[in-house]
Chain A
Amino acid sequence: MAAAGGGAAAGRAYSFKVVLLGEGCVGKTSLVLRYCENKFNDKHITTLQASFLTKKLNIGGKRVNLAIWDTAGQERFHALGPIYYRDSNGAILVYDITDEDSFQKVKNWVKELRKMLGNEICLCIVGNKIDLEKERHVSTQEAESYAESVGAKHYHTSAKQNKGIEELFLDLCKRMIETAQVDERAKGNGSSQPGAARRGVQIIDDEPQAQSGGGGCCSSG
């Protein structure tokens, strides 16, 4: 009954928390709205909100519940970061490819996340607004090699044109599943206090009645 080992088994669902970080105006909210298609979604407190969004996925038979926590990008709220990223399985760090400063901000977040959470958290660095390629101020090569150097993956997206977003989230989910499986195995081997217990990876039993048809793998968006 309790979550342990073999998370990939049928009937289980992973529950992941992903935090969204980046300067104001880089398009964090548009990105995640594109992905979750919050419009007319009355599951949340109000359809006017896109600060907390959820998505259910089925990746190769593994069911995933994704909770996406948006953060305010204004500098004056920077100190609040830890209360949001605490407990996260993944972080999406967004910059605007036309704004060098926003990339610098991402680097600061990476430093802080690695310092506070170590390597347990899956990092995605996302260059958004590739529809504005002509005004690019952050070189692709620089961004990609930076991401590699800090153990993150780099993606290019356009929320406006709905490009690259599906891939970003799918990839992140796969990496979080892998991390969770490693944790489960460690736990199975009897190592005490695995990272998962603290970071709150939850593998929960699914009710059999839960429909299997709808919302297949990344079908929407």
Chain B
Amino acid sequence: MSTHEGGQELGGDGGQPGWVCGERGWAWVSLAALPSPTSTPAGTAVEAALCRAVLAPLKPALWTRLRTLRAPELRQLRRRQIALRAGAGPPGAQGAGREGRSPAPALRSRIHARLAHLHAACAPRRKVSLLLAVCSDVYAGLARGENQEPLGADAFLPALTEELIWSPDIGETQLDVEFLMELLDPDQLRGEAGYYLTTWFGALYHIAHYQPDAGRAPQGLSSEARASLRQWHRRRTLHRQSHAGPQAELPFEEPWAAMTLQETSDD
């Protein structure tokens, strides 16, 4: 009944996982067609094995290729990052920053360490859990002091942007985010991980398109960005809605914390 929706079955037509060159670079296809790792131990094992056997050996070559492909964009991102730093005050300064309060220096070092781990990690799950850990750190930085109320995007996005402005290697972070956006299961992209991945993408976009002369943010997404989002969306939704059964169960409860414990070997 679901065949008309084009779902790829593992071992079926098109079920061979592999890297393909898409319009925006290389993408790992058909991992999303695996049984949901969040729901079955077997799925997790298969995914972990795939990461070790296929992804890990390919990683250096893949990353070199991605860096080359995206070189102009990454250069622009770094240039704008430096421009924004100029207006942001010294790193770790209390209350400084164009984009919001800076966290304590210790917290910032922890965030930088996590960003390095995020880049070094190979397994997508491990990367996601590190990305979410950075988000937790950013919230912890915001919650210093009297205000213990949970905070929304008005507070979080500026704070994350500020952190990324001080990221030692923002280009690698950009590639990590794009890599995960290509790879995550559509269910995950609509859940908490997807929300925060989107927010990172947004913060990086904001930095990359900051106009130092005008001293202001971009007024709209560029047509290239819109086209690229559309392509990405089409690519990532082609096989959606074919999932059923246990995979779809409780889509919002992603046990990232548990995964962090399981996958400590790959960074």
Q: CB within 8 Å of B: which residues of A?
A: 1-4, 15, 17, 20, 24-25, 28-29, 32-33, 38-39, 43-52, 54, 65, 67, 69-80, 82-84, 86-87, 197-198, 200, 202, 204-207, 210
CB proximity of A174 to chain B, nearest CB, Å: 21
Beyond A2-B1, A3-B244, whether A45 also contacts B196 by CB under 8 A is yes
Give Cα distance in the complex from A64 to B147, angstroms: 32
If A48-B140, A65-B252 touch, whether A33 touches B150 (CB-CB below 8 Å) is: yes
- Pick the residue among A4, A38, A83 that contacts B202 (CB under 8 A): A83
Q: Find chain A residues with CB under 8 A from B133 CB.
A: 45
| CB-based contact B154/A29 at 8 Å | yes
Q: How many angstroms between the C-alpha atoms of A42 and B237 in the bound complex?
A: 30
Report the interface size for chain B: residues with CB under 8 A from the other chain: 60
B190 & A17 in contact (Cβ 8 Å cutoff): yes
Q: Which of B14-22, B167-175, B211-219 contacts A (4 or more CB under 8 A)?
A: B211-219
B1-41: CB near A (< 8 Å → 1, else 0) gives 11001010000000000000000000000000000000000
Q: Note all chain A residues with C-beta closer than 8 A to B226.
A: 82
User: In the complex, which residues of chain B have a beta carbon less than 8 angstroms from the beta carbon of A44?
Assistant: 192
Is A51 touching B142 in the complex (CB atoms < 8 A)?
Answer: no
Among A24, A204, A210: residue with most chain B CB under 10 A: A204
Q: A39-B150, A47-B150 are in contact. Are A202 and B233 (CB under 8 A)?
A: no
- B210 to chain A minimum Cβ distance, whole angstroms, is 9
What string of 1s and 0s marks CB contacts (under 8 Å) between B228-266 and chain A?
010001000100111111101111110010000000000
Q: Does B57 contact A (CB under 8 A)?
A: no
For A67, the chain B residues whose CB sits under 8 A away are 190-191, 195, 252
Nearest CB on A from B29, distance (A): 19
What does DSSP make chain B's interface, helix, strand, loop or mixed?
Answer: helix
CB within 8 Å of A: which B189-205 residues? 190-192, 195-196, 198-199, 201-202, 205
What's the Cα separation between A47 and B197 when bound, in Å? 18
- B158 in contact with A72 (CB, 8 Å): yes
Inter-subunit contact A76/B217 (CB<8 Å): yes
Interchain CB contact under 8 A, B201 and A86: no
- In the bound assembly, the distance between CA atoms of A75 and B158 in angstroms comes to 12
13 contacts between A and B (CB under 8 A): A2-B5, A15-B190, A17-B190, A45-B139, A48-B136, A48-B148, A50-B151, A52-B196, A69-B198, A72-B156, A78-B217, A84-B202, A200-B186
Tell me which of A3, A46, A82 has the highest count of chain B C-beta atoms within 10 A of its own C-beta. Answer: A46
Task: Using A15-B251, A48-B150, A74-B154 as known contacts, say yes or no to A82 and B221 having CB atoms under 8 A apart.
Answer: yes
Among residues of B, the one whose C-beta sits closest to the C-beta of A52 is: B195
Q: Is B60 engaged at the interface, CB distance under 8 Å to the other chain?
A: no
Contacting pair B150 A70 (CB below 8 A): no
Q: Find out whether the CB atom of A197 lies under 8 angstroms from the CB atom of B240.
A: yes
Task: Report the separation of the CA atoms of residues A80 and B135 in the bound assembly, to the nearest whole angstrom.
Answer: 18
Residue among B206, B209, B252 with the highest chain A CB neighbour number at 10 A: B252
Bound-state CA distance A204–B246 (Å) is 9
Are A79's CB and B132's CB within 8 A? no
> With A and B bound together, what is the CA distance between A79 and B217 in angstroms?
8
Residue of B nearest to A206 (CB): B249
Distance from B72 Cβ to chain A, minimum over Cβ atoms (Å): 20
Q: Would you call B195 and A69 a contact (CB within 8 A)?
A: yes
A162 to B132, CA, bound (A): 31
A17 to B92, CA, bound (A): 36
9 other contacts beyond A83-B198, A204-B248, with CB at 8 A cut-off? A17-B190, A25-B154, A28-B152, A70-B154, A74-B154, A79-B218, A79-B220, A202-B240, A206-B249
